[in-house]
Amino acid sequence: MTKALVTGATRAPGRPIATMLAKEGWDVRALGRDRIALVEMHGEHKIVPLAMDLTDRAYVCAIAEGLAIDSGFQPHIIERQEDGYGT
């Protein structure tokens, strides 16, 4: 199964990206600050919620290390570009 880590997943454009990937069968981890939105996404699409503020660099690093070490989670990188999205 293809895996993705989507940041800013509780707002646009992150939420529609996370939802689209989940609908296509991806194993999605969603990072965002809005815990209610993350719970909704989990209930609707089985997206794994990770509530956090990305400005807390130490916490983000700890979560990223945990994803890589504990579960072998190696997501594809999708970057927002001016003309759309690319890997």
pLDDT tens per residue, range 35-70 = 999 999 999 999 999 888 778 878 777 777 776 655
Q: Range of 43's domain?
A: 3-86
Q: What is the pLDDT of residue 65?
A: 74
pLDDT in tens, 21-34: 999 999 898 988 89
Structure tokens at 53: 């503020």
Distance of CA 53 to the CA centre of its chain: 13
Q: What is the pLDDT of residue 24?
A: 94
pTM to 2 decimal places:
0.71
What pLDDT, on a 0 to 100 scale, did the predictor assign at position 76? 58
Please tell me the total count of domains within the chain. 1
pLDDT of residue 1: 72
The CATH number covering residue 26 comes to 3.40.50.720
Report the 3 state secondary structure along the chain: CCEEEECCCCCCCHHHHHHHHHHCCCEEEEEECCHHHHHHHHHHHCCEEEECCCCCHHHHHHHHHHHHHHHCCCCECCEEECCEEEC
